[in-house]
C-alpha cells in the first residue's frame, strides 16, 4: 500500500472531513529526515561548537524562571545564524549525537511518577531513544526539557526550516489521542495552539511554539476577564467537529478525575486536609456529578487554568494550550476565569453575569453552580501551592457556603 506523504513541520495537514486524528486512527506516515551535512556543528569532533555562558533577562520561551538567569547556549559557527536566536533555554546539555540534548531521566521519572506511579520508570528509561527517533522522523532539532507538567515531557525544538515548534511526549497514549482529536477540531482557531503533526502510536505531538509564550500564571496582575471572551468563544464549536472514533470522555468522567486527584492531594498534605472536611469535598463532588449529567454539550478544554494560557503577541492574543478535552457543559471551562480573583459570592456572580453577556452559550445560572461545585478543588490547589493564599481562603469559604445552602 502506498504510504501517505507527511506534511513538512510547519504546514498544517488538511484532513478529509470526518477523518480526524482521534483514538484508533493510524499514525501519519512521515518521510525520512533529510541527510545531514557532514560539517554541521556537533558536540564532538571537527566543527564542535562551544557552550557559551550568558546572562539574559527574560527568555522568549518561558521556563518559569525568574530573571536574571544564567543560561548555556550553543555558540553558532562563524558566518551562520545562531540556532536558538533569541529563544535560549536554561541548562541545556548536549549528548554528542546529532542535536539531541541530554535528558535527566531521573528528574522526569520523579515528576511523572506522581501521576502514573512507579511503572512509568520503564518509559522514562527509553525516553532519550524515543525523543531521538521522533526527532529524526520529523526532522527536528531538539532543545531542553520543560521542567514542569505531570503527564508529559515537553521539548522546544526547530524544524529543518527553522520554524520554532514544541515536541510533546507522553507515556499515556490516550492523553495524546484526546489532545490531538481536540486540537484537530479546533484547527486554525486563533486562540488555540496549533497541532502540526501527531504520532499516536508513540504518544508524540508536534505543536506550534507560541511566542512570546508568557504564561498568565507568571504574570503579577490579575487574570484579565475581558480577555477570556475570545478564548472561550473560540473553544466551543457547535456542534463539536470531531472525526469518527475520537473517544473523548464526557464531562462527568473529567470531573470525577479532578475530584479524585483532589482527594489524593489531601492525603499527601495533612495540614491542608485538616482544614477541608471530607464531607465538604464529597458534597461538592456530588454537585458536580449532577451538573455534568445535564446541560448543553460542547467540546471543552477541560483544564483552562492560568498555567495553560499563554501570551501569543498582538496578532494572537491569548492562546490556550495543553487541553484535557471532554464533551459537556461549556460553563465548566469558565470556572477558573471567574474564580481567579477570589472575592465573595456577590463578586463572583458579577463576573459571571459580565462574562455571560459577552460569550455565546454561557449560561450564568449553570456557571454559578459550577463555581460552587469546583471552589473546593481550587481552594485545595491554592492552599497546597501557596499556603495561606487569600484567593484559596475565599474559595474555601465559597465551598462552605455552597454546602450550607444545599
CA distances to 11, 33, 87, 99, 354 from 94, in Å: 28, 20, 17, 7, 50
Asked whether the predicted pLDDT for residue 366 surpasses 90, the reply is yes
Looking at residue 383, its pLDDT comes to 94
For range 325-336, the mean pLDDT: 96
Domains in the chain with CATH codes: 47-92 (no CATH), 98-208 (3.30.200.20), 219-239+248-405 (3.90.1200)
Give yes or no for residue 321 having a pLDDT over 60: yes
- Integer Cα distance of 362 and 383 in angstroms: 29
**One-character DSSP codes across 211-254:** SS--BGGG-SS---GGGHHHHHHHH--SS----TT--PPBHHHH
Task: Round to whole Å and give the CA distance between 285 and 368.
Answer: 15
Q: What are phi and psi of 238, to 5 degrees?
A: -130, 125
pTM of the model: 0.76
The CA–CA distances, whole Å, from 260 to 264, 265, 284, 312, 336 equal 6, 9, 12, 33, 18
Among the listed ranges 116-125, 156-165, 397-406, which one has the minimum average pLDDT value?
Answer: 397-406
pLDDT at 94 over 50: no
The yes-or-no verdict on residue 56 having pLDDT over 90 is: no
The catalytic residues are: 303
The Cβ of residue 290 has, within 10 Å, a number of other Cβ atoms equal to: 11
Q: Is the peptide bond before 239 cis (omega within 30 degrees of 0)?
A: yes
Please provide the average confidence, as pLDDT, over all residues in the chain. 78
Amino acid at each position: 500500500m502506498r504510504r501517505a506523504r507527511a506534511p513538512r513541520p510547519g504546514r498544517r495537514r488538511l484532513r478529509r472531513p470526518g477523518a480526524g486524528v482521534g483514538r484508533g486512527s493510524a499514525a501519519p506516515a512521515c518521510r525520512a529526515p533529510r541527510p545531514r551535512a557532514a560539517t554541521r556543528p556537533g558536540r564532538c569532533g571537527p566543527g564542535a561548537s562551544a557552550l557559551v555562558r550568558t546572562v539574559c533577562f527574560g527568555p522568549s520561551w518561558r521556563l518559569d524562571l525568574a530573571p536574571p538567569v544564567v543560561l548555556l547556549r550553543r555558540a553558532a559557527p562563524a558566518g551562520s545564524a545562531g540556532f536558538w536566536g533569541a529563544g535560549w533555554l536554561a541548562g541545556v546539555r548536549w549528548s554528542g549525537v546529532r542535536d539531541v540534548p541530554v535528558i535527566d531521566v531521573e528528574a522526569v521519572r520523579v515528576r511523572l511518577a506522581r501521576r502514573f506511579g512507579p511503572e512509568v520508570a520503564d518509559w522514562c528509561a527509553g525516553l532519550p531513544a524515543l525523543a531521538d527517533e521522533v526527532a529524526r522522523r520529523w526532522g527536528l532539532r531538539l532543545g531542553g526539557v520543560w521542567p514542569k507538567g505531570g503527564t508529559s515531557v515537553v521539548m522546544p525544538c526547530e524544524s529543518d526550516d527553522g520554524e520554532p515548534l514544541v515536541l510533546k511526549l507522553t507515556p499515556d497514549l490516550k492523553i495524546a489521542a484526546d489532545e490531538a482529536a481536540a486540537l484537530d477540531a479546533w484547527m486554525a482557531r486563533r486562540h488555540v495552539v496549533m497541532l502540526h503533526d501527531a504520532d499516536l502510536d508513540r504518544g508524540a505531538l508536534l505543536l506550534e511554539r507560541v511566542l512570546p509564550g508568557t504564561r498568565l500564571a507568571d504574570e503579577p496582575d490579575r487574570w484579565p476577564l475581558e480577555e477570556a471572551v475570545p478564548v472561550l468563544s473560540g473553544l466551543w464549536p457547535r456542534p463539536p467537529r470531531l472525526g469518527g472514533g475520537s473517544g473523548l470522555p464526557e464531562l462527568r468522567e473529567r470531573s470525577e478525575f479532578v475530584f479524585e486527584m483532589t482527594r489524593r492531594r489531601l492525603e499527601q498534605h495533612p495540614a491542608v486536609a485538616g482544614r477541608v472536611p471530607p464531607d465538604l469535598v464529597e458534597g461538592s463532588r456530588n454537585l458536580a456529578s449532577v451538573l455534568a449529567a445535564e446541560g448543553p454539550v460542547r467540546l471543552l478544554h477541560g483544564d483552562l487554568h492560568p498555567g495553560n494560557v499563554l501570551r501569543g503577541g498582538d496578532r494572537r492574543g491569548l492562546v490556550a494550550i495543553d487541553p484535557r478535552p471532554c464533551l459537556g457543559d461549556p460553563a465548566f471551562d469558565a470556572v477558573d476565569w471567574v474564580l481567579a480573583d477570589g472575592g465573595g459570592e456577590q463578586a463572583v456572580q458579577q463576573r459571571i453575569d459580565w462574562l455571560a453577556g459577552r460569550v455565546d452559550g454561557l449560561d450564568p445560572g449553570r456557571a454559578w453552580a459550577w463555581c460552587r461545585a469546583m471552589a473546593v478543588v481550587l481552594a485545595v490547589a491554592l492552599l497546597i501551592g501557596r499556603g495561606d493564599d487569600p484567593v484559596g481562603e475565599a474559595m474555601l469559604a465559597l465551598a462552605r457556603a455552597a454546602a450550607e445552602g444545599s
